[in-house]
């Protein structure tokens, strides 16, 4: 039986990234993508780099799913839920980081449980909104969405 250890202090930025990526499920970025830099950075890339991560991911997913103007009314609730989930997760992660040095093992587990619960609640809220959008998609869009989720899924192609 393998025993895993849970650290009492977590790097907030990394945990936030992992939870947002996993928790939001549909916010996909290209596999192995890194932010563009230098003089060859396009306007779109500069705009993406200057936005909060969730906004950049929402924009990227909107583009990759090829959301049509007719689907915008179904897309907007998906995007708002993604924002709300990110805000809720960020708040819990900040509270966890702020108290990490004083947490007992039990406090650490409770904090982790709150984050996991927020993640699960976020997925439960996001799923019906995304399902409505998915049901409005053309067969080509659905296949594209299926590939995005299948290939990048909750981990979004990130390794490590």
Q: How many independent structural domains does the chain possess? A: 1
Is the pTM for the entire model greater than 0.75? no
For the stretch 113-131, what's the b/e string if a residue is b when 16 or more beta carbons lie within 10 angstroms of its beta carbon? eebeebbeebbebbeebbe
Please check whether residue 137 lies inside any domain of the structure.
Answer: yes
d(CA 115, CA 138): 35
* Structural domain range at position 78: 54-64+72-149
Q: What average pLDDT does the segment 39-66 reach?
A: 74
Please check whether residue 143 lies inside any domain of the structure.
Answer: yes
Please check whether residue 126 lies inside any domain of the structure.
Answer: yes
Please check whether residue 122 lies inside any domain of the structure.
Answer: yes
132 pLDDT higher than 90: yes
pLDDT tens-place string over residues 88-121 = 999 999 999 999 999 999 999 999 999 999 999 9
Instruction: Identify the band that residue 42 occupies on the pLDDT scale cut at 50, 70 and 90.
Output: low
């Amino acid at each position: 039986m393998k025993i895993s250890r849970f650290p009492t202090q977590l790097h907030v930025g990394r945990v936030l990234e992992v939870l947002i990526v996993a928790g939001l499920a549909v916010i996909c970025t290209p596999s192995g993508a890194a932010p563009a830099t230098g003089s060859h950075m396009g306007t779109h890339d500069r705009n993406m780099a200057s936005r909060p991560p969730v906004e950049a991911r929402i924009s990227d997913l909107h583009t990759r799913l090829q959301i049509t103007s007719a689907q915008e009314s179904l897309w907007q609730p998906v995007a708002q839920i993604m924002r709300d989930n990110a805000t809720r997760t960020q708040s819990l992660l900040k509270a966890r980081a702020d108290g990490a040095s004083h947490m007992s093992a039990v406090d650490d587990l409770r904090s982790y449980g709150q984050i996991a619960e927020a993640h699960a609640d976020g997925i439960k809220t996001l799923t019906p909104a995304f399902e409505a959008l998915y049901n409005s998609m053309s067969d080509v869009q659905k296949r594209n969405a299926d590939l995005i989720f299948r290939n990048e899924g909750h981990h979004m192609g990130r390794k490590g």
